[in-house]
Amino acid sequence: MAPSPLSAVIDAGDDVALVPPLNLVFDQRGYPLRLGPHIEIGADEADLAQTSSFVVTTADDHDDGVAGIVDCTLREAINAANGNVDANTITFASNVTGVITLHLGELVISHDLNIQGPGPMVLSSR
Ligand SMILES: [Ca+2]
Ligand SMILES: [Ca+2]
């Protein structure tokens, strides 16, 4: 489980794990081991929140509370955009294809939002 955004373990790890002999590259979930200035204490690196425009990085439908640079669902991007009146554009990473099945219910958009998808032959939602 990733640390909460205010956890004291964030960026408090020893970056020596990134260099020989350990040469660690990924955390236990496959995220880059260092996001931000330093690694976290523990097995999971906290994702960094996208703050202005948002790039969806997965076709999954979940909400871990962070529209992160590594893990950002359409739902997380919309929720983050809803909380920021200046953030009004959502795009999709090129690897996000297929169907986004909305397991968690409908998406709620609270103000003007520009969602730029790759087209229905590449990505759709239901
Ligand atoms: Ca970090
Ligand atoms: Ca996320």
Percent of the chain at pLDDT exceeding 90:
79
Ligand closest in space to the Cα of 46:
1
User: What is the Cα–Cα distance from 35 to 19, expressed in whole angstroms?
Assistant: 15
63 with 100, same domain: the answer is: yes
Residues 126 and 93 grouped into a single domain: yes
pLDDT at 45: 94
pLDDT at 4: 84
- The domain in which residue 11 lies consists of 1-46
Same domain, 39 and 90: no
The number of domains in the chain is 2
Q: 4 CA distance to ligand 2 centroid (A)?
A: 12
**Neighbouring residues of the ion ligand 1, judged by CB less than 5 Å:** 11, 35-36
Instruction: Locate all alpha helices (DSSP H) within 10-126, ordered by sequence.
Output: 74-82
Same domain, 81 and 41: no
- Alpha carbon distance 48, 93 (integer Å): 16
The pLDDT of residue 7: 93
The secondary element (H helix, E strand) that includes residue 55 is: strand 54-56
| 69 & 116 share domain | yes
